[in-house]
Structure 1
């Protein structure tokens, strides 16, 4: 099995992130260009099981990081057992963050087509790492900090295996209300230049901060983060933010304020896709869907923006 898609969004495999992927797969929007990378943060497999059933039905593959670094999970034995139980016809493929213990796991569970995720502080002279990177069961690399560890990138490219650059693009503000003062700005150009720089794909955390936060509280402000393509094919982002942010009360009203700004902007700019249609429908019905759906819409929109661009170039 060979996965040659170009965009590899990293998601934490929480409820609304998995729902976003399910809905995209059901609508046949991502299979040709997108392979998500899931880093689970829950010990329950219920969400992953539901998503796997739907993704398999629609032939949408995804990588599952079996040794996640954050959340409730520990080292990846439970996720290795989980992949084993799914069988050989699963659509979840094994991905690892580099750890010297990985080699034993790959052999023990007879894994193939593994994605090895490499942090920018890995020493490319580490013999354990080099032995792992060279073995045939590792078929692809995801590389953080491609401008900070050029020797690592050069070494991995020399192995003639696909390399994906991983970038942390979303700048998180301390408070949601801080986005009110931020104008639209450039979000990404990686989709334009990854191939020119010798990479086979690119990855980001969509419009979610890479820094994981387990706890959450009722926000004083509601923000809808939407990316879109400019005429020069750069991806830009706007943060549509509520204005009555003096207390935590009336989240429904805050969502309506942010949604009106977003819907009006998309209409004026002629922006439309499944995510924008969903947001528009919610706004027109004066419905408050909850902050999880808000995040789902933002994730779906960004993946659709990237997929549309890649589709236009295929």
Structure 2
């Protein structure tokens, strides 16, 4: 079965939990292969890797992450996992010779990530280069045009705003149509940063506004994104109340006649609705987790229906 969608996540706690719960509930289609850039060799990350191995579901893990200091695991459990067919060793590279670092991994499937500012000449008759999965930033116009064999386009589809309150003026936005056109564009797959965006920060803060971001398929199967924003945004007090305001708008949309349940319903949206009914607030990390789960679930279902079993 062809792997098509490679969501790029940063390996923070709630992103890992999102993957773990999707896998446990059999809601992660086999065409969806997460790419993890770890920020910490945590027990949660190790548990997720073990679960993917047990399920036989592919996952790519970057061995030389850039966003945070990181020492890879060095224990018997993970070293054994790295020899499993479900584990795709992945590295950032700056030149083709960097591929040699992947030779130590026995898995024949390997991946490289090429950032927008990387430049090098295309190698000719190089088996290692031809066989490796190449995740290339779409901003790297030179390599994205010239690279061949197993190329995956990495696009930052999430239009990040400086403040959560700014999303209130852009309630409904275009997100992506790469899932419709990646093959005709010559790619083997497509990738994005889900509803998180490429910008990384390891610092938490109390927001003045709460925003919940939910993607959905429109009538033409383009992916769009809704931003549900709180109203009482003058200070940082009462995050639970702000969340309830944003959640109320999400649930009203979910229960409206405009919502296409066949295309866009998910276990995550049902969980959001239940939270609203119960007046439950468990922290903004839960909202982030559910937003990611919703995206990956409906994208997997779309790919399953479009490309068959």
Judge same fold: TM > 0.5, yes or no. Answer: yes
Q: 1:137-161, CA deviations, whole angstroms, 9 ceiling, x for partnerless residues?
A: 9521111126x524x234421xxx2
| 1:19 aligned onto 2:14 | no
- The answer as to whether partners of 1:120 and 1:145 remain within 8 angstroms in 2 is yes
User: Which SS does the other structure have where 1:280 is aligned?
Assistant: helix
Q: 1:99-123, CA deviations, whole angstroms, 9 ceiling, x for partnerless residues?
A: 4573442234455311111223333
Classify 1:281/1:296 alpha carbon distance in 2 versus 1 (closer, same or farther; 3 Å).
same
Classify 1:31/1:132 alpha carbon distance in 2 versus 1 (closer, same or farther; 3 Å).
farther
- The answer as to whether partners of 1:66 and 1:79 remain within 8 angstroms in 2 is no
Aligned to 2:133: 140
TM-score, length-normalised on structure 2?
0.89
Aligned to 2:53: 56
Aligned to 1:91: 86
| 1:149 aligned onto 2:141 | yes
Aligned to 2:297: 304
Aligned to 1:266: 254
How far 1:80 sits from its partner (Å)?
A: 7.8
Aligned to 1:216: 204
Classify 1:291/1:198 alpha carbon distance in 2 versus 1 (closer, same or farther; 3 Å).
same
Aligned-residue Cα RMSD (Å) equals: 2.3
Query: How many residue pairs get matched?
Result: 300
* Structure-1 separation of matches of 2:130 and 2:141: 24
Classify 1:275/1:237 alpha carbon distance in 2 versus 1 (closer, same or farther; 3 Å).
same
- The answer as to whether partners of 2:131 and 2:150 remain within 8 angstroms in 1 is no
Stretch deviating more after TM superposition (270-279 or 210-219): 270-279
- The answer as to whether partners of 1:31 and 1:61 remain within 8 angstroms in 2 is no
Classify 1:62/1:109 alpha carbon distance in 2 versus 1 (closer, same or farther; 3 Å).
closer
Aligned to 2:157: 169
Classify 1:261/1:270 alpha carbon distance in 2 versus 1 (closer, same or farther; 3 Å).
same
Classify 1:192/1:236 alpha carbon distance in 2 versus 1 (closer, same or farther; 3 Å).
same
Classify 1:137/1:191 alpha carbon distance in 2 versus 1 (closer, same or farther; 3 Å).
closer
* Structure-1 separation of matches of 2:127 and 2:290: 39
- The answer as to whether partners of 1:143 and 1:163 remain within 8 angstroms in 2 is yes
Classify 1:195/1:103 alpha carbon distance in 2 versus 1 (closer, same or farther; 3 Å).
closer
- The answer as to whether partners of 1:165 and 1:201 remain within 8 angstroms in 2 is yes
Classify 1:133/1:62 alpha carbon distance in 2 versus 1 (closer, same or farther; 3 Å).
farther
How far 1:266 sits from its partner (Å)?
A: 1.1
- The answer as to whether partners of 2:16 and 2:48 remain within 8 angstroms in 1 is yes
TM-score, length-normalised on structure 1?
0.88
Q: 1:1-314, aligned counterparts within 5 Å?
A: 4-42=2-40, 44-73=41-70, 78=72, 84-89=79-84, 91-100=86-95, 102-110=98-106, 112-125=108-121, 130=123, 134-135=127-128, 138-145=131-138, 148-150=140-142, 152-157=143-148, 161-268=149-256, 269-271=259-261, 272-314=265-307
User: Which SS does the other structure have where 1:185 is aligned?
Assistant: strand
* Structure-1 separation of matches of 2:126 and 2:146: 10
